[in-house]
Structure 1
Amino acid sequence: MEQILVAKPPENSEPTPPAAKGMRADARRNREKLLEVAAAVFSERGIEGSLEDIARRAGVGIGTLYRHFPTREHLVEVVYRREVESLCAAAGELSLNHAPDVALEEWMQRFVGYIAAKRGMANSLRMLVNTNSELFAESSGMVSVALRNLVEAAAGQDLIRRDIDSTDLLHALFTIYSIPDAPDWHERSRRLVKLLMDGLRWGAGAKHAP
């Protein structure tokens, strides 16, 4: 399975990124909007998505984009960090607001969005592995922990099977990454998540062999 690269989720709220500290409020808003739009563009069009288009859709000039993100690779890195931080934080948020099995399913659906962004940034991420391995060394493992906590909470209440290994489930989720690009990619991926949840819920509460 491809290495899972994530950052530790915030405990209460999303921390202010170091690059954003000391910025004026309008500059922070511009930066966050650029990251939001860039994630969408990379998901839709891949890493070759136009930086000029990102700036235009964010409502700023290209000079503003370059002041925040001097290179495309820098933008990709920050977008990726933001995506994985949001994914990790979602596990705790969903657990507070939903039954454990529903929280697990909703998180798995969000994982599809994470994969979509990762697919779009694949080429640049491969380059970053070679030039900035520290980024990945510092941010590995937390997606696995988030998923394990969700699985254990649902299994503990007999809402899903108790013989499920979260590592195996993560492998299954990552197979979505290999689905060929097509206009219905997102819809097909969401259907696969529903199939996985059907399997997780089947026989819940029954005794299974270890």
Structure 2
Amino acid sequence: MPDELAQQGQRADAHRNRERILKAAAEVVGEEGTQASLRDVARRAGVGLGTLYRHFPTRDALLETLLRSGFDQLTEEADRLLDANLPPERALADWLGEFTFRAGAFRGLPASLMATLGDPDSALHTSCLAMREAAGRLLRAAQEIGRIRPDVDGTDLFALANALSWITDQAPSIAARRDHLLTLIMDGLANSNAR
């Protein structure tokens, strides 16, 4: 019985540490960006670096946990927009607007998201996959009615959306022009034969 109580106490302590790490990571990454020092995260959480790495063995694993709910919300939003009675190109533009806004949540996030494309072993790659696939469904719906160029694929779309997010990340003064720049992207994606 004492061993069982000790194990429960250890599990509860581990759970508290994990939650403290996530809270501290949200603060530190919010202040310093996705390349923030993991040592700073551990310090702010009041745990050792080894404890942080036991819970999150890589930076991507920590970022994936921080970002997963947002990715899930974007996936759900794509599905909701598909089911809404909107023109498919409008649904795609609305989703891209939401994506580019959220990708600007943490400095450096657009670059981290682009890096996931070439690293299928990354925790972020797997987490982003459902979101990218949902965006692909929006893209295909707009292509099926001839509104978006047929030579555009999901990777192109993801790269363009991330490029817009990166620009506003690098030059915050441009953030006010995000909607205008998104309109320019949508104009570039439009099927000229449908005009």
TM-score, L = length of structure 2: 0.56
Say if 2:149 and 2:190, in contact at 8 Å, map to a contact too: no
What residue is the counterpart of 2:145 in the other structure? Answer: 157
* Alpha-carbon separation, structure 2, partners of 1:147 and 1:164: 16
Structure 1 residue corresponding to 2:123, chosen from 135, 144, 151: 135
Describe how 1:56-71 pairs up with structure 2 within 5 A: none
Distance verdict in 2 for CA 1:134–1:198, change over 3 Å: closer
How many Å separate the matches in 2 of 1:156 and 1:148?
12
What is the number of residues matched between the two proteins? 160
- Please give the root-mean-square deviation of Cα atoms over the aligned residues, in Å: 4.4
Residues 205 and 142 (structure 1), Cα distance of their counterparts in 2 relative to 1, 3 Å cut: same
Which letter does structure 2 place at the counterpart of 1:194?
T
Relative to structure 1, the CA distance from residue 106 to residue 205 in structure 2 (aligned partners, 3 Å threshold; closer, same or farther) is same
In the alignment, what sits opposite 2:192?
Answer: 203
Q: Does 1:103 find its partner at 2:91?
A: yes
Identity across aligned pairs (percent)? 24
Q: Does 1:172 align with 2:160?
A: yes
| Structure label with greater radius of gyration | 2
Q: In the alignment, is residue 190 of structure 1 matched against residue 179 of structure 2? A: yes
Higher relative contact order (CA 8 A, sep 6+): 1
Gaps of at least 5 residues in structure 1 are 1-26, 56-61, 64-68
Q: Which residue of 1 aligns with 2:68?
A: 81
Q: Is the 2:63–2:124 Cα contact (8 Å) retained in structure 1?
A: no
Amino acid at match of 1:96: D
Output the amino acid matched with 1:79.
L
1:91–1:147 CA contact under 8 A, matched in 2: yes
Instruction: Give the SS at the match of 1:141.
Output: helix
Q: CA deviation at 1:107?
A: 0.6
The normalised TM-score by structure 1 is 0.53
In 2: Cα distance, 1:136 partner to 1:86 partner: 15
Q: String of CA shifts for 1:24-70, please: whole Å, max 9, x gaps.
A: xxx9xx99xx69x93x984565265997xxx9xxxxxx78xxxxx96
User: Using the alignment, how far apart are the partners of 1:43 and 1:189 within structure 2?
Assistant: 20
Q: Residue 134 of structure 1: CA displacement?
A: 5.6
Aligned residues of 2:136 and 2:153 also touching (Cα < 8 A) = yes
Gaps of 5+ in 2: 1-15
Shift of 1:96: 2.0
Name the residue aligned to 2:9.
none
Which is richer in helix? 2
Deviations 1:128-183 (A, max 9, x none): xx9xx46246435333322221111122233x134241232333223224426233
**For the Cα contact (< 8 Å) 2:30–2:107, is it kept in 1?**
yes
Question: Cα offset for 1:112?
Answer: 0.6
Q: Partner letter of residue 152 of structure 2?
A: D
